Structure 1
Amino acid sequence: MRCAVAHAGNDHRLGAQEAPPAIISLYPGQGFEAHVDSIIAGGALLGYKAEKKMQSTGCKASMAVEANSEDRNRTAPFPHCGNRFEFRAVGSSQNCSFPVMICNVVMAAGMAHLADQLATGKKLRDCVAEMYKTNRHVIFTGNGYSAEWPEEAKKSGLPNLNTTPKALATFNSAKNKAIFQKLKVYEADETDARAEVMYENYNTTLAIEAKTMIHMMETGILPACAKDLQKYTNCKALVGDREQVYGSIKAGTQKLKEVLSKVPHSIQEEATYYCDVVKPQMVALREVVDTTEGLLESGLYPYPTYETLLYSHHH
């Protein structure tokens, strides 16, 4: 499931603000979590009752409203939302067909395993209890944004594949190939091909972003910095640290060029290099340019400023 939402743009989003963390877990609600534990302990398979509750509006002039049976956890990748599960990790620019296909594969694999167990003569309750016990660690009803969750997930055996290269390295594993083949979704070489396509997409996106950044520095930011410095020719006392900051942009741009010239040729190594070497340099350069935005004379900055992007609708 993590691989299904792994791409360059979504790396910026997962784990930030309204997006779920990159650790894939399931939030069925505390009521159903207790029912799962009851089944594992030997309880009846049936018996869970999703009782809706009244939710206060916090306003004296209005009545309480009927809420879903379980509180929706917005920090979970897979929360239960009343009458459905919602997979919240899909990127906004992504075609949802691939994540939907993977969801269906997961469901089909689970049902196939259950059918295989029933075929041996085991009781349905016992088969379900065994599956719940095996997969109990994927349930998490806490705060996915907390600093403790990654450590807790690690202890539970849930992988924290927080970058696209880390995720894609697991896609064409022997286990995944076996599942795809069993369900007649992909042959082994087709699984490898899908992984290669995802790597290629990631590498191409990062290469375009890095080269675009260099172009923006050399044709927009640096010329603006030069014009700004000229204004202080006769008043050096007001220059401040502009020369140092603007010089850092030039040095950072040159360093970005240098790291781009050393990209490996292996597609998997290339993805890791873009993630671990190129992206950090882009972030470092961006931080200096952010500082520059507050130093340049109003109107001299060549691109829309943060202020314009955030508050232009007020003007």
Structure 2
Amino acid sequence: MPLAEIPLRAWRKRGQEFVFRGRTIRYWVAGQGEPLLLIHGFPTASWDWHYLWQPLAQRNLVIACDMLGFGDSAKPLNHTYCLLEQADVQQALLEHLRVEQPVHVLAHDYGDSVAQELLARHYEGRFHMASCVFLNGGLFPETHRPALVQKLLLSPLGWMIGRAFGRNALSDSFSQIFGPDTRPSESALDDFWSLINCNDGTRILHKLIAYIPQRRRLRERWVDAMQRGEVPLRVIDGEVDPISGAHMVERYHQLVPHADTVLLANIGHYPQIEAPVQVLKHYQAFRDQVGHPVLELACLR
């Protein structure tokens, strides 16, 4: 049975705001229970989670924001965007909401890197993570295969590429990274474009893309954190994603002990949009295991 979508117009009306270092951050909260932090990817926004929002809110206090430079949040032009600062944004939001319990995290793409940093901070005693699930993202720089537009944005002419980037270019890019049978509708593309273009967002795409070299610099810190094994982790991955599909999961199994992974056949880079029912099923199964570790161990004997 398909999950009900939340139209972008309705989603935007439900948003709230807080100020992070003088910049306005747009955020959403729903439900009750254990806190679950949803972290979106590049170049979109937290509306990416709209199919999962209401089902997850039935069992969790669900929290999400448009990170600095994304969606309906502030997009300052003269700013150096950094994954470490985006992790600060997440922690500031939790502090704003007075969340003190251990936090579950569900992340995608760019958000995977933010989640990796929060995991590293967990082991440093600066964040309390209960569990983490990664959707398609560049967990390892050596397996990340950037799309053409990402390579162009990283080039010296990236500022020109960003300003020339339009709705048609977005459509072309998404047609390459979504699954062959799960590409977004024209209406969904309009909504994705609205979020990217909001607040003159194309002016800063070349600045946001700096996350790719940042991943390389922070690789050892983040891989070490994933190898610790104290925080339950799972990867739910669209198999045919050319950026971070099955090849990334293969590397995950090589590097992460007792790797817990799920591959979604014929699904691309945005599984929460392309196959939300499957993502929800595998996420809830993971959380049920996390909630009953003694039962899980008994089953393994």
More helix per residue: 1
Q: TM-score, normalised by structure 2?
A: 0.23
Q: TM-score, normalised by structure 1?
A: 0.22
More strand per residue: 2
Work out which of the two has the higher radius of gyration on C-alpha atoms and give 1 or 2: 1
